[in-house]
Structure 1
Amino acid sequence: MENVINRQLFLTEERRKTFKKWPFNDKNKCNARNMAEAGFYSVATGEDDADAAKCFLCGKELDGWEASDDPWEEHKSHAAKCAFVQLGKKEDDLLLSEYLSVVKQYMINEIKQMAEESKNKLDEKSKFIRRRCLSKK
């Protein structure tokens, strides 16, 4: 499954490592560490989208970042229902019960995504079979 999120991205440090060519440095509010702490990892594929980032939990993808942007505030304004945003804490500050709630939400999201992908594949297969049956008439 191509869209299933890497479980290592639960960890801030693993998310931070994805920001290899992030356009902002540590002097900027929108630096790689703050992005990772706010739940984002880089999904940049080239120079045109060097600032593309996605939440490891809710899947919200954002680009067009500016050096002064606050990653937590941007995440909150674009994905207020994200379970990670609602906790509003860095990974190291989460209680065990809060961390487990994030894991639970991740698993729910992953299962929904897998179900959606399976449904789409089944729909395509059904359309193919239907066309084949209709062409034989």
Structure 2
Amino acid sequence: MESASLYLVDERIKTFKNWPFSDKDKCNVRNMAEAGFYSVATGDDDADAAKCFLCGKELDGWEATDDPWAEHKSHAAQCAFVQLGKKENDLMLSEFLSVVQQYMINETTKRFATNAKEKIDENAKLIRRRIMASK
């Protein structure tokens, strides 16, 4: 799990360390975070890489005039957060809890899948060793 609280806009804002756009641009840090994105940049080559905390859609190639909500909707219309279409502060409690619940389900599923893959990989290595030892 990348962060247990990426469903909170303030936590997503903290991830944008070297965002290439200023607060004056449409594609600023606050607008990105409010649209559900957090930064997944690893260096200069992908300084504008961002990912949705809920649906996992990752986008890069942002321009200063891009509207993060419109881009999110354009590339991931099925995202439950996009379908709500509201900033965190505008969500009703039931909507917010629904988002948190879906986030936790997604994170648990990812963790389960990762653990299952690791076990399969370990078993495959063991079987390969046994095959190689029997030759």
The interval holding the TM-score normalised by the smaller chain is over 0.9
Q: Which runs of 5+ in 2 are unaligned?
A: none
Give the aligned CA root-mean-square deviation in angstroms.
Answer: 1.2
Matching residue within 116, 120, 124 for 2:121: 124
Q: Which runs of 5+ in 1 are unaligned?
A: none
Q: Which residue in 2 is equivalent to 1:33?
A: 30
Counterparts of 1:126 and 1:86, CA distance in 2: 41
TM-score (norm 2): 0.93
> What amino acid is the match of 1:38?
A
SS in 2 for 1:9: coil
Aligned pair count reads 134
Q: Which residue in 2 is equivalent to 1:103?
A: 100
> What amino acid is the match of 2:129?
R
TM-score (norm 1): 0.91
- Is 1:6 the counterpart of 2:12 in the alignment? no
Contact kept in structure 1, 2:7 and 2:103, CA below 8 Å: no
Large movers: runs of 4+ above 3 Å: none
Q: Which residue in 2 is equivalent to 1:47?
A: 44
Contact kept in structure 2, 1:5 and 1:56, CA below 8 Å: no
SS in 2 for 1:8: coil
Contact kept in structure 1, 2:19 and 2:48, CA below 8 Å: yes
- Is 1:136 the counterpart of 2:133 in the alignment? yes
Once the two structures are aligned, what percentage of the paired residues are identical? 66
Counterparts of 2:104 and 2:59, CA distance in 1: 22
Cα 1:33–1:126, aligned 2, differ >3 Å: closer, same or farther? same
